[in-house]
Structure formats: structure tokens, C-alpha cells
């Protein structure tokens, strides 16, 4: 596709529900990142993939958060047993092998009620 | 770990005037990249301008320019001839030359007065 695509754009979950957020990076981009952005704040790093390998997951806030990229393209961020503090915008970005610029999707706004 | 600090939560500018956004960062690395991203209400992060640390010349993109002071670890963004469409949240970001991960500042909200 022309850009990074994220779905859904909006998600409302009841507390305790599991959610899955999808990221379709730019075709051929090797590096993929997930960020969490609280309202009025800067994005905070969650995790990073190079192809299918998850090289850094130091930013995942708890073991309820899990990310995968099994075939080195589409990635899914899963949050189990959602809590109110998980409410945020989740941004995905990808970078090409030779590039320096990160291209971002429009994000998924998660609201936990 | 790298930290990026934006000390101005909000800035207001009159249309056609100039506004400067400040950013400082902390790193022990000598080779890295710095970025300014714009985030309008649509949430789409858009790259405004990029600076490679090894380049002494300040980057310029049309009405946007930076003042990169490597020794002071400062990277400010100047928006000239401000337009209504410039209204957004602006984030300063750091990226090591070795690791692709971006570290962001807290952001500055820019409002443009007509």
C-alpha cells in the first residue's frame, strides 16, 4: 500500500476484554515499531521488530501486552484483560532498510470503559 | 538512554509571523539523527524536517528550518510565514545511528491566530 495502515481506527473495549490492533506497514519495510501515546503526550516506545524478529520489547508496560509479526509484514498488538490505563492512541511506524525516516499510521484510539 | 525535552507545552503565533520551538536532548553518542514531526488532530505523524548529526549545515525545508547546536545538544525548529495549516502538535525526536528506535519529546502545541 501507499502508507502504513492501522485498524481499527477506533476501539472501545470493556474493562477485562482482550483487544487486537493491526498494523500493515509499507511493503518491503523491514523495521516496524509500536508506540503508545497518551492524550496530550508524546509517543512512548513499546516494541520493535526487524522482519519477524522482535528485537526490543522493553517498552511493553506489562505481560498483558503482546506483539507479533509472524511473516515479517503485518503486525498485531494484543492487549489482554484491558484496564482503563490502557486507554491511549497506539501508533505503528515502519522504516525501510536503507532509510532513516519513520512512516507512521494514523493510529488506533483505544478507549477502555 | 536518550531523553528529549521540549520545554514549551504551547506556543501561539500570528499568521505570517515566525515562531521558534525549542528542543534539547541528552545522548552520549556522536552519530545520530534528529527529527521534527507534526501531528494534526487527524493523528497522522508527518515528518517536517530531518537533521543528521554529522552535518554542520542546518536543514531547511521551505518555511521550516532548524538551528542545530551539537555541543549544546539543542535542536530548535523555526516556522516562518506561519499559516493556519501549521496549527498542530510538534514533536522533536531522536534516533541513534545504530538503533532505529525513535525517542520523542512531550510535544509543543502550536496555534496560529488569523
Q: Does B8 touch chain A (CB under 8 A)?
A: no
Q: Are A15 and A112 in contact (CB under 8 A)?
A: yes
Q: Residue A84: is it exposed, middle or buried by C-beta count within 10 angstroms (0-12/13-18/19+)? A: exposed
| Model confidence pLDDT, tens digit, residues B32-73 | 999 999 999 888 899 999 999 999 899 999 999 999 999 999
Confidence (pLDDT) at B1:
60
- The verdict on a CB contact (< 8 Å) between A106 and B33 is no
Alpha helices in chain B (DSSP H): none
Name the residue in chain A with its Cα closest to that of B96: A100
Only one residue has cell 522533536, namely B92
Query: With contact defined as beta carbons under 8 Å apart, do B15 and B114 qualify?
Result: yes
Q: Is the pLDDT of residue B78 over 90?
A: yes
Q: How confident is residue B97, by pLDDT bands cut at 50, 70 and 90?
A: confident
| pLDDT over 90, % of chain A | 88
> Is the confidence at residue B15, as pLDDT, over 70?
yes
Query: For the segment A62-104, what is each residue's pLDDT rounded down to a tens digit?
Result: 999 999 999 999 999 999 999 999 999 999 999 887 777 889 9
- Chain B CB contacts of A35 below 8 Å: 104
Distance from CA of B55 to the nearest CA of A (A): 15
* Spatial CA neighbour of A47 closest among A65, A71, A22: A65
Which site among A23, A43, A47, A56 would you substitute to test the B interface, given the most B Cβ atoms closer than 10 Å to its Cβ? A43
- Residue B110 has a pLDDT of 98
Kindly report, residue by residue over A20-46, the tens digit of the pLDDT: 999 999 998 999 999 999 998 999 999
pLDDT in tens, A4-20: 999 999 999 999 999 99
Q: Chain A contact for B1, CB < 8 A? A: no
B98 in A contact zone (CB under 8 Å) = no
Contact at 8 Å (CB) between B5 and B61? Answer: no
**Residue B16 distance to chain A (closest CA, Å):** 26
Q: Is the pLDDT of residue A1 over 70?
A: no
Q: Which residues of A touch B55 (CB under 8 A)?
A: none
Q: Is the per-residue pLDDT at B111 higher than 90?
A: yes
| Chain B residues within 8 A of A31 when measuring between CB atoms | 100
- Report chain A residues whose CB lies below 8 A from the CB of B102: 33, 43, 45, 93, 102
Amino acid at each position: 500500500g501507499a502508507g502504513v495502515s492501522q485498524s481499527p481506527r477506533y476501539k472501545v473495549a470493556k474493562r477485562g476484554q482482550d483487544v487486537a490492533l493491526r498494523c500493515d506497514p509499507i511493503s518491503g519495510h523491514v523495521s516496524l515499531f509500536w508506540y503508545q501515546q497518551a492524550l496530550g503526550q508524546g509517543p512512548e516506545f513499546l516494541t520493535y521488530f526487524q522482519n519477524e524478529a522482535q528485537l526490543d520489547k522493553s517498552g511493553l508496560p506489562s505481560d498483558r501486552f503482546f506483539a507479533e509479526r509472524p511473516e515479517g509484514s503485518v503486525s498485531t498488538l494484543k492487549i489482554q484483560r484491558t484496564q482503563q490505563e490502557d486507554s491511549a492512541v497506539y501508533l505503528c511506524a515502519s522504516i525501510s532498510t536503507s532509510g532513516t525516516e519513520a512512516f507512521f499510521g494514523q493510529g488506533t484510539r483505544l478507549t477502555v470503559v | 538512554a536518550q531523553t528529549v525535552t521540549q520545554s514549551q507545552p504551547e506556543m501561539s503565533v500570528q499568521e505570517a509571523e515566525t515562531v521558534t520551538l525549542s528542543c534539547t536532548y541528552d545522548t552520549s553518542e556522536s552519530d545520530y539523527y534528529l527529527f521534527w514531526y507534526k501531528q494534526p488532530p487527524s493523528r497522522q505523524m508527518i515528518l517536517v524536517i530531518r537533521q543528521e548529526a554529522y552535518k554542520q549545515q542546518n536543514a531547511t525545508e521551505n518555511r521550516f528550518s532548524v538551528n542545530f547546536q551539537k555541543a549544546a545538544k539543542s535542536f530548535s525548529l523555526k516556522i516562518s510565514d506561519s499559516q493556519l495549516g501549521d496549527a498542530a502538535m510538534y514533536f522533536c525526536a531522536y534516533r541513534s545511528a545504530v538503533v532505529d528506535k525513535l525517542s520523542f519529546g512531550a510535544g509543543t502545541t502550536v496555534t496560529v491566530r488569523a
